[in-house]
Amino acid sequence: MAFKELFSTDIGLLSVFTIAFIIGMAVFLGRYVKQHVEEDERTHGQGQ
């Protein structure tokens, strides 16, 4: 019943899209930060 309501009502679909967007942003930001940290480590060395 919960899945039927989640995927058939307006507020349920909005919730699904919001959750998917938040997860997508988290993945994007995680990869973005990791990429730039690795780039900075290569540029400036591993630190002391």
pLDDT tens-digit readout, 1-48: 889 999 999 999 999 999 999 999 999 999 999 999 999 999 998 765
The answer to pTM > 0.95 is no
| Cβ–Cβ under 8 Å, residues 6 and 16 | yes
**Residue 34 backbone zone (phi > 0: left; psi -120 to 50: alpha; other: beta):** alpha
Report the sign of the C-alpha dihedral through residues 30, 31, 32, 38, in that order: positive
- Tokens representing residue 48 in the block: 């002391």
Enumerate residues 6+ apart whose C-beta is below 8 A from 41: 47
pLDDT of residue 45: 81
Tokens 């540029």, residue located:
43
